[in-house]
Amino acid sequence: MDFDQILAKCGDFNRYQFMILALFGFINIIVSMHYFTQTVISFVPDHWCYHEKLVNMTYKEIADIYSKFESPSCTRLADIDGGNVTVSSEKCEKWIYNYDFGYRSMNTELNWVCDSAYKARIGQSLFFIGSVVGTLFYGLLSDKIGRVPALILSNFCGFAGDFSTIFTKSVATFTLCRFISGLAADTNFYLMYIIVLEYIRPSMRTLGLNMAVGLFYCLGLVFTPWLAVLAGHWQIYLACTSLPILLVVLYYFVVQESAQWLVTRNDIDGAIVRLKRVARFNGRHVTQAEFDEFRRHCQMTREMQGGDDKKHATLLDMFRTPRMRKNTLILFFKSMVITLCYDAVSRNVEGMGISPFIMFSLSALAVLPSSILLVLLQDRIGRKGMASGSLLVGGLFTAAAGIAIAYQQHNHNAILLACLTIAARFGVAISYESGSQYATELIPTCVRGQGVAAVHVAGFAASFLAPYILWLGTFFKAAPSIILGVLFFAGSFVCLLLPETLNRSLPTTIEEGEVFGKGERMFDFPCLHHHDDDDSDSEMEKYKRKHSLIDAKQQVESGQYNKRKQSLIDADREEQALKDAKH
């Protein structure tokens, strides 16, 4: 009895699964606010250099006076005499701000504008550097001490970074706090994602995970800018978004550690304890004999793979065998394409003449429809088809938005740009959500934490190239959209080389990951060919039994061959009995 079978008896889509989906929804809300905190606290409204004669004027009158200058926000006036103005050679040290919805951002309070605008960008850079370090660190930590402790530590790090930012006044302390906050980025999301995925029935993963992301992440994104407006001040906003993160500490008492991860750590007793708690929470009765059968299955699998003497798998083991190496590199490339294009699309629409609060909420609305589309299509056309198709469509949307922005630099059509931006965000959101689930399912359980972390780090590293790709637009306006389109289409193609994971038992070891989906062709999609869901698994089991018999024959002299051969024969009989029962 393998893990999926014992989990089905304990309940794989019942009360416990509904509870962790709700907790995952809360994670999505706080993660959406945490990730975009830097953006919200750095909003810069229309502003002009201060002059005492401008105090009693309206913002429109001030804008008209400064409209004559190439850099109206940073030009200091010496004197204003009716329609005549004299420019001062001194730098501006004080500004008049036209606060958007009355919200006072960090940049406006600290006057980090004009020549000092770089200070906020340094903080943003350190946030992304922190995310690379934190993703690797907490990914490795999750495979060492468990998913739940790493999840709690990651979120606490995010709280510490955001809350301490409230008290910063200098560039040095600000960048340090943003680095600490960045350490939590992504691991505070995907670790809970892994936990939920491993405790949910394979056929319900798409519905449960994507609807949780679609509803709650979208809710968090739409609400985030208006929470800032409601708070009215960036420090109050940071307090409101950081304090709820502390509630994640309570997850230690209600979320069970990954039973699959415990099995890979040879802690079968610990896995059974967690499964018993799940069964009790779901009101299911599972006999001790069934748990013993699961224990025997785990022990036999462990013997096949080398017993207790085998070292725990590491990230480098994903590159040890040819098929695992190919799949891992494809996942890396896909993550780089998605993250890079998402960041480029976001940067390419700045200064489009719409309030950042309104534009932020409008673009966030694309998240929910993308999740609904995933739920409707992903379990029909499969993970591979959805990943490839979404990248293809995302490329079309991104190219259209990029070209429109490039050729309307001096005469923006705000409505057109808003529509194309939302469409591009829609395509990238589909790619990101489908890609997250696909990567998590393909990477074996024994290295899932650090493997998913490495995939996300590759994406973060690639996002640093976005400004340089956009810079090429100064030489040829269509260059950024062409480059991004090519990357999207390339990502769409290589996804076809990955195996399908729909309704299949996920690999738990490197060896199982190597033979997973072996023999599958490039254009094999569930919607076109209806194979028995157990075909891939049976091939994997045959592979394991074959190599186990070879290893067992080498142990004849030690007297272990007959015992292991009989256990394998018994396993074959049990599998045949299960198939006969199904028919």
pLDDT tens digits along 375-384: 888 888 888 8
Residues 6+ apart with CB under 8 A from 578: none
CA dihedral sign of residues 346, 347, 352, 356: positive
* pLDDT tens digits, one per residue of 334-373: 889 888 877 776 655 445 557 778 878 887 888 888 888 8
Section 98-116 average pLDDT: 90
Q: What is the pLDDT of residue 192?
A: 94
- Residue 494's φ and ψ, nearest 5 degrees, are -65, -25
Alpha-carbon distance of 259 to 379, in angstroms, equals 25
Query: What are the structure tokens assigned to 247, written together?
Result: 């509630």
Q: Tell me the helix, strand and coil percentages in the chain, rounded to 5.
A: 70, 5, 25
Domain boundaries, the chain: 14-45+102-249, 311-529, 533-582
| Alpha carbon of residue 93 to chain centroid | 41
Cβ contact 102:237 at 8 Å: no
Tokens of 249: 């500490």
The DSSP-derived string for 366-427 is THHHHHHHHHHHHHHHHHHHHHHHHHHHHHHHHHHHHHHHHTTSSS--HHHHHHHHHHHHHH
Q: What would the two tokens of residue 157 be?
A: 């790090």
- The answer to whether 49 and 113 have CB atoms below 8 angstroms apart is no
Q: In the prediction, which pLDDT does 558 show?
A: 42
Confidence (pLDDT) at 22: 95
Mean pLDDT across the stretch 299-313? 69
CB 151 within 8 A of CB 249: no
Nearest Cα to 92, choosing from 110, 74, 79, 106?
Answer: 74
Q: Mean pLDDT across the stretch 2-6? A: 90
> H or E stretch including 528?
none
Q: What is the CATH number of domain 14-45+102-249?
A: 1.20.1250.20
349 touches 494 (CB < 8 A):
no
The pLDDT value recorded for residue 551 is 43
Tokens standing for residue 462: 């690639």
**pTM (2 decimals)?**
0.76
The tokens for 113 are 């504008």
Tell me the range of 191-205, 302-316, 502-516 where mean pLDDT is highest. 191-205
pLDDT mean over 506-524? 85
pLDDT of 535 reads: 46
Q: Which amino acid is at 50?
A: Y
What is 311-529's CATH superfamily? MFS general substrate transporter like domains (1.20.1250.20)
Which residue bears the tokens 């996300």?
A: 456
Rounded CA-CA distance 296/431 in Å is: 40
Nearest of 178, 184, 132 to residue 154 by alpha carbon: 184
Identify which has the larger pLDDT, 299 or 465.
Answer: 299
Which two three-digit tokens encode residue 563? 């015992």
Q: What is the pLDDT of residues 457-512, one digit of tens each?
A: 888 788 777 767 777 766 766 677 778 888 988 989 999 999 988 878 788 888 88
Note the residue count of the chain. 583
- Percentage of the chain exceeding pLDDT 90: 31
Tokens for 111?
């006057």
Token pair in block for residue 217: 């992440």
Cα separation, 161 vs 69, in Å, equals: 40
- Could you tell me the two tokens for 312? 């725990």
Residues contacting residue 518 through CB under 8 Å, at least 6 positions apart:
323, 499, 536, 539, 540, 543
Whole-number pLDDT of residue 42: 87
Is residue 526 pLDDT above 60, yes or no?
yes
> Is the distance from CB of 360 to CB of 350 less than 8 angstroms?
no
Tens of pLDDT, residues 154-179: 999 999 999 999 999 899 999 999 99
- Tell me whether domains 14-45+102-249 and 311-529 share a fold: yes
Cβ contacts of 535 within 8 Å, gap of 6 or more: none
**Amino acid identity, position 418:** A
Cα 263 from Cα 269, distance rounded (Å)? 9
Whether the pLDDT of residue 424 is over 70: the answer is yes
Tell me the backbone φ, ψ of residue 110, rounded to 5 degrees.
Answer: -95, 0
> DSSP character for 233?
B
Look up residue 355 and give its two tokens.
């309030």
* Rounded mean pLDDT, 516-532: 74
Specify whether the CB–CB gap between 241 and 30 falls below 8 A.
yes
Q: Which pLDDT band holds residue 304 (cuts at 50, 70, 90)? A: confident
* Joined tokens for residue 316: 């480098």
Q: How many Å apart are CA 518 and CA 499, to the nearest integer?
A: 8
